[in-house]
A = this chain, B = another copy of it.
Amino acid sequence: MIEKDIEREVIIEKTTIGIDVGGHYIKYGLVSNHKVIEFHRLKTKREDILSSLIYIIEKYKKELISGISIGFPGFVRNGVVTSPPNLPIKNINLKEEIGKIVRFPIVVENDANLYALGEAFYGVGRHHRVVVLLTLGTGVGGGIVIDGKLFTGSIGFASEFGHIVMNTEGPVCGCGMRGCLESYIGADRIIERYKGLLKKGISTSEKNVESVKDIVNAARNGDRLSIYVLNETGIMLGVGISTIINILDPDIVIIGGGIAKARNLILKATKEEVNRRIIRKVPIVVSTLGDKAGLLGGHILLKNGTKPLTFPNSP
Contact = CB atoms under 8 A, between A and B. Distances in A.
B245 A243 contact: no
Contact of A168 (B155, B159, B166, B282): B166
A163 interface: yes
A255 interface: no
Interface in A4-63: none
Interface residues of A, number: 39
Contact of A247 (B130, B146, B164, B177): B164
A153 B250 contact: yes
A130 B250 CA distance: 18
A269 to B, nearest CB: 13
A130 B159 contact: no
A248 interface: yes
A233 interface: no
A125 to B, nearest CB: 12
A129 interface: yes
A154 interface: yes
A272 to B, nearest CB: 14
Contact of A249 (B157, B165, B239, B277): B157
Interface of A: 128-130, 146, 151-161, 163-169, 177, 239-240, 242-251, 276-277, 280, 282
A-B CB proximity, top 7 nearest: A153-B249, A157-B249, A158-B249, A160-B246, A154-B251, A163-B246, A167-B167
12 contacts: A128-B154, A155-B280, A158-B248, A158-B249, A164-B243, A165-B277, A166-B167, A166-B168, A167-B167, A167-B168, A247-B247, A247-B248
